[in-house]
Amino acid sequence: MKRYFFLCISLLILFSSCNDGESSILKKEVLFTLNYGKMEDQLDMSYNSSITVPFPAIIKMANGIVYIMNGNLKKIMKFTSFGDILTVLGNRETISSPVIVDDNVSDNEKVNRKAVFFPFNSIEEFAVDKRQYIYVSDVLPQERHEYDEETGAMLSNIIYRFDNNSNFIDSIGQDGKGGIPFPFIKNIITNDSNDIIAVTRPGIKHFVYWFDNSGNPLYRIEVDENTVPFPDGEKNLFPSVSTIKAPDKGRFLFIKTDYYKQVSSEISDTKTDIDFYKSYINILDVESGKYVNMIEIPDAFTAPDIKGNFIEKRLQVLYNFLDVVNNKYIILSSFLNNNAMQVLVLDTDGKVIDQTRINIDFESYFHIDINLSNEGILTALMAGKNETTIAWWRTDSMLQEK
């Protein structure tokens, strides 16, 4: 249900001056561009006849290195921040004739650019740890799927682990190295200890599998929307867990939960409509299994849209939880309009530390993936008609001397 808020023109002017000024806009820096094609440093974003959308293209930045996964070509590319390709890891079928990188390299030989082949089936997610180890979520072939009676889900995903030279180490399943498959993996997270955290969602619940840096299982955490905390004095709410992140240090989960409430219908007096109430970050101590903090997220709205001389109409939107940086900064983004999004920084007390606007022409791109590095730098992959742009915004400047 849409929520509209009406303000007088004086407040509109104040809002516009505070949020649209030059000082509130963070500059975009284009790092490099990628062409479309089948070569080792190109992307294939074409549509597959058997599916309605392309396989994902996902970007990560770690220690100044840019990693890009291209699902269509079943490969992960490793670039410098200037766009020079260092490594391509993927199927021999899709990178069968490398031109830029060397595909005839021994394990002990050190070269600047190389190709490493691995028979991926259908890669969907990946992560990079502090050692530059790569973790890739792959969908197993149909004949290797298993049915889980507890959750009623199909177990079909596995995590493959590669060292900092992109050489295969082992596979990780629910019970550790070589274990049984996971249900659908929503995200893979690593931390300062190089722990491996797999966030899965087999149904209405989330299950988080936590491993040490050797792949040994430590915790299996069930995140149930029926057991998350409720805001003080509010019980008749409907919680929805949208995003789960883990900080660099300690064993905690930061769980973004959107709460909804039942409201009276505009047509009748019966409470049949569901309306957004508030969003919170719930912090779960993994070792104790208890929630230790609940952080309220401020309301977010689209940019002002003047429909008359004295009336502003704004549509409330939800924040996207990008990540938590240095264990104390919660970074969120929200949609402002077709040309911009807002970035908000909270501390773990819920205090607004900083906010800014970044300009993205959303209508010019058919696919956008945004990543926040451990250093707090916002990086984006933006696929347009003729090429894909890789850019960053130095959002880490918002965290300096705070």
DSSP-derived secondary structure letter, 3: -
As a whole number, the mean pLDDT across the chain is 86
- Give per-residue pLDDT as tens, 369-384: 999 999 999 999 999 9
pLDDT of residue 19: 41
pTM (two decimals):
0.88
Start-to-end CA span in the chain (Å): 37
**Distance (Å) of CA 168 to CA 107, 121, 135:** 11, 15, 10
Q: Contact 204/193 with Cβ under 8 angstroms?
A: no
| Candidate from 38-52, 135-149, 284-298, 324-338 with smallest mean pLDDT | 38-52
Residues 102-125, mean pLDDT to the nearest whole number: 79
Residues 87-113, mean pLDDT to the nearest whole number: 75
- 37: alpha, beta or left, given left = phi > 0 and alpha = psi -120 to 50? left
pLDDT band at 286 (very low <50, low <70, confident <90, very high): very high
pLDDT of residue 127: 98
Say whether pLDDT at 85 is over 80.
Answer: yes
Distance of CA 90 to the CA centre of its chain: 22
Say whether pLDDT at 17 is over 60.
Answer: no
DSSP-derived secondary structure letter, 306: B
| CA-based torsion, 211, 257, 154, 50: positive or negative | negative
Separation between Cα atoms, residue 136 and residue 150, nearest integer Å: 25
Query: Residue 33 is encoded by which pair of tokens?
Result: 């561009």
Separation between Cα atoms, residue 18 and residue 16, nearest integer Å: 5
Query: Residue 396 is encoded by which pair of tokens?
Result: 């880490």
Determine which helix (DSSP H) or strand (DSSP E) holds 85, and give its type and residue range.
strand 85-90
Query: Residue 385 is encoded by which pair of tokens?
Result: 């008609």
Residues 7-14, mean pLDDT to the nearest whole number: 30
Q: Which residue has the higher pLDDT, 304 or 35?
A: 35
Q: Which residue has the higher pLDDT, 90 or 109?
A: 90
Say whether pLDDT at 13 is over 60.
Answer: no
The CB density around residue 250, as the number of other CB atoms within 10 Å, is 13
In sequence order, the 6+-apart residues with CB closer than 8 A to the CB of 301 are 5, 314, 315, 316, 317
- Give per-residue pLDDT as tens, 200-258: 999 889 999 999 999 999 999 999 998 999 998 787 899 999 999 999 999 999 999 99
Q: How many helices (H) and strands (E) does the chain have?
A: 1, 32
| Candidate from 33-42, 214-223, 310-319 with smallest mean pLDDT | 310-319
- Give per-residue pLDDT as tens, 174-208: 999 999 999 999 999 999 999 999 999 998 899 99
- Residue in this structure with the two tokens 């924040």, named with its chain if needed: 319
Q: Contact 369/390 with Cβ under 8 angstroms?
A: no
Say whether pLDDT at 3 is over 50.
Answer: no
pLDDT of residue 401: 57
